[in-house]
Structure 1
Amino acid sequence: MAQIVILGGGESGVGAALLAQAQGHQVFLSDQGELKAAYQSELSQHQIPFESGQHTLERILQADEIIISPGIPEKSAIVQAIKQQGISLVSEIEYAARYTNAKIIAITGSNGKTTTTLLTYHLLKEAGYNVGLAGNIGQSFAKQVLEKSFDWYVLEISSFQLDRCFHFAPDIAVLVNITPDHLDRYEYKFENYIHSKFRIFQNAQASTNCIYWGDDEVIQQYQSLIPAKTQKQEIRFAPGKGSATITEKEIIFEAGKIQRASAPIQGPHNAMNMSAAILAATAAGVTWADVTKHLPTFQNAPHRLEPCGEWNGVHFINDSKATNVDAVYYALNSFNKPIILIIGGVDKGNEYAVLDTLVKDKVKGMICLGTDNTKLEKHFGQTLERFAQTDQLETAISQAMEWANEGDIIMLSPACASFDLFKNYEDRGDQFKATVKKLTHGK
């Protein structure tokens, strides 16, 4: 019997606590924040001791192994103290994977991993597979390993989760792209973040399917980090070079073609996401007939280029999940109509120059929504004819509506984290949709 401590009492932490207890270990959960009442109740029901609102270091350091929430940064005092003691420190993904014989599809990337994960899961589930959805999305992986009996899992994996994965070895590993993100967590060194993402391949074997965007300059530069013996499948925009080749009108696979115009998700970035999901699904054994049958019925996640209203011929788009600059780049590239862009929040070390050409060509007005818009104002304030800033969501939307003409798009695509004004990106997106409904109702 080992002493297992869980740091962080969210969905993944509570699930890990339940799984660890079921394995016969002594478990203690510690959350420095306020543990939700529902989680407190679940832990009490299973007689798992916990603390909320503090970390008792002395008790935590008695652990044989610690399972850490991805939200706790490596540079925090608690993590430094654990490292000094040499205690095993792992993610929920690493821990739960020890206790399942199910095959695993793991998907990571700076942008598009949620869409790719959901589409992969959709294709497997609709094809009749006994499949679970977990990781950075849905229910706790550990809890599903404990309570369910799936043959397959599709896991969305963040860099924070990968940082604490050491023996995790998915059967199908997918890397959709790498662009600068979370640099505040990686000492503002892009290389550190890149190495974190490539951990998805670190235990790949000869039988492992490694799927990645072959045109991505960063992936090309670090491709040697993918073990040579693996089953590599590249996605390319260059004709005839990849396992999936994206052209202007179609995506070409060995088994057939997908017409981009009739696909359920649009834009070049979504052609990439679709390619990765289809390659992952077919690597898992889904037939081409099932792919073509079930692809049209896919619906993307909320807060990702989500249509959420129309008023006087103006369309509203909720893209609150766009928490980095590249996600905004993809969003702007998905439309050929004038855009009024609502952007801003907690900057994560963003470099906005990558947006300059698209902003010049497509953005007729920009509204910065945040408590500190200095960096955005400095970069865009002098170049745009219509530029405003506010820390009130309703004011931002009202201003956008004043500028908008029939055929325009008002889009929330922040490029930043949400924690200055909102609980999380979901809360930001939900409030955006509710405010749009309020301001357009009856007008």
Structure 2
Amino acid sequence: MKRLVVLGAGESGVGTAILGKKEGYQVFVSDKGKITDHYKKVLRNFEIEWEEEKHTEDKILNADVVMKSPGIPDKVLLIKKLNGLGIPVISEIEFASQFTSATIVGITGSNGKTTTTMLTHHLVSHGGLDVNMGGNIGDSFAKQVAENDAEYYVLELSSFQLDGIKTFAPHIAVLTNITPDHLDRYDHKFENYIASKFRIVMNQNENDYFIYDSDDEVITKYLTEHPIRSKLLPFSLKEKVENGAYLEEDNIKIIIDNNELTMPTKDLALKGNHNVKNAMAAATVSQLLKIRKTTIRECLENFHGVEHRLENVLKINNVQYVNDSKATNVNATFYALDAMKSSTVWIVGGVDKGNDYTELYPLVNEKVKAIICLGVDNSKIINAFGNCVDNIIETQSMKDAVNIAYKIAERNENVLLSPACASFDLFKNYEDRGRQFKEAVREL
């Protein structure tokens, strides 16, 4: 009997354990932190052995295969020991893909991947296909393969999940964009992070498809230097493409092998240029999967987006409060500030991942009247924007941040939570941060 060791008992770890058990592995789950009561209960129900607050090496180094949570860096000593012993260390995505014959759509990118994943799933499920959504979102891919396998999967994939693949190959890969993010995990080398994102196409062949933003110079440069085997379907707001998606006089045009779909951008439920691109990517996938054009158009007209991503919360005294807690990097915040049409009080800060704030200067100069810092250490933000904005205030809780914003913001202005940073210093995760923001706004 093969031994599967799972490191990390979160959603992906527990899902992998369930699938491993079902497929006849001897399974052991080890978490260096505390395991939540919910996941303990699941592990007990499946009679899976587990430990918490430690990694017992004797029970780990005898594995045939190890699935590690995306949160554990490769630099950790235990992972180095496993690598030294030649024991495969893989991600949940790699493990689960071996046990399904489904057609997989894999979506990655620094920004836009959650919206594009949810939008693609919305289009494909309304098109009548048997489709599940997973990866970085919702129930784990492994758990779904174990308990309710589907004919199609739309998976949101992070670079950390892609780092742990060996043979995984989505039939359709989507790359929304690449901007510097998570550089703390990639030796502060942008090229390492870029290569990591491109692992999504590494095992594709001539019968597979790669959908990507051809306006993104990082992507196009990488493609010229590292040609890939799959069929290329670019999308662009700037130039006409032969096969793929482009903009023509405020109409989205998608052409695949002479099959054409047209839709006016004004009919999209999601506003902003970045969402035109997300719509192009999702609609291109749907065209490939032969979803009816009327269905694609209807779905793009009625999809209203993702919680914590430019989410309008409330209007109070004619001030619009916007929750963009999902903006955990500078580029995401760039889109958020770009979407603000009037003067804005900006709540920013958290765990800095090696951010370079210079690309925000023009937008901050133009739109931001005050900055409210919300992090344990705000020195980098204060240094970065001290010359752009007169009013910079430090806070240590969401309630304080929102109350101060309420005092500063005037009629027809915005209060925008778009942190550009990770959330782990003051919050459990970006969802917790966004929910606290919404609660604080509702209490005003």
> Aligned equivalents of 1:156 and 1:305: distance in 2?
19
Q: Partners in 2 of 1:247 and 1:40 — Cα distance?
A: 54
Task: Name the structure 1 match of 2:3.
Answer: 3
Per the alignment, residue 201 of structure 1 pairs with 201
TM-score, normalised with respect to structure 1: 0.97
Counting matched residue pairs gives: 439
Aligned with 2:357 (options 352, 360, 371): 352
Residue aligning to 2:233: 233
Q: Does 1:381 align with 2:404?
A: no
Secondary structure of the structure 2 residue equivalent to 1:256: strand
Tell me whether 1:270 sits opposite 2:299 in the alignment.
no
Q: Deviations over 1:371-413 (max 9, x none)?
A: 1000000010232122211112122112212221111110100
| Residues 201 and 228, structure 2, Cα contact 8 Å, conserved in 1 | no
How far does residue 232 in structure 1 lie from its aligned partner after superposition?
0.8
Taking the TM superposition and a 5 Å limit, the aligned residue runs for 1:378-417 are: 378-417=383-422
Structure 2, gaps ≥5 residues long: none
Alignment of 1:11-410 (within 5 A): 11-224=11-224, 227-241=227-241, 243-246=244-247, 249-254=250-255, 255-410=260-415
1:429 aligns with 2:434: yes
* Mapped contact 2:253–2:261 kept (Cα < 8 A): yes
Once residues 110 and 249 of structure 2 are traced to their aligned partners in structure 1, the CA distance between those partners, rounded to angstroms, is 23
Aligned-residue sequence identity (percent) comes to 46
- How far 1:250 sits from its partner (Å)? 2.8
Q: Is the 8 A contact 2:310 2:336 kept in 1?
A: yes
SS at match of 1:30: strand
Question: How high is the TM-score relative to the length of structure 2?
Answer: 0.97
C-alpha displacement of 1:286? 1.1
Matched position secondary structure for 2:443: helix
- Tell me which amino acid in the other structure corresponds to 1:198: F
State the one-letter code of the partner of 2:412.
Answer: G
CA contact (8 A) 2:309 2:324 kept: yes
Structure 2 residue matching 1:332: 3-state secondary structure = helix
- Say which SS state the counterpart of residue 215 (structure 1) adopts: coil
Q: Partners in 2 of 1:214 and 1:374 — Cα distance?
A: 36
Offset of residue 209 of structure 1: 1.0
For the residues of structure 1 that align with 2:411 and 2:263, how far apart are their CA atoms? 33
Structure 1: where are the runs of 5+ without partners?
none
1:250 maps to a residue whose letter is N
Cα separation, 1, equivalents of 2:341 and 2:181: 26
Structure 1 Cα separation of the partners of residues 312 and 209 of structure 2: 35
The AA in structure 2 aligned to 1:63 is A
AA aligned to 2:121 is: Y
How far apart in 1 are the matches of 2:299 and 2:55? 47
What's the C-alpha RMSD, in Å, of the aligned pairs? 1.3
Q: Give, in angstroms, the shift of residue 215 of structure 1.
A: 1.2
In structure 2, distance between residues paired with 1:76 and 1:248? 52
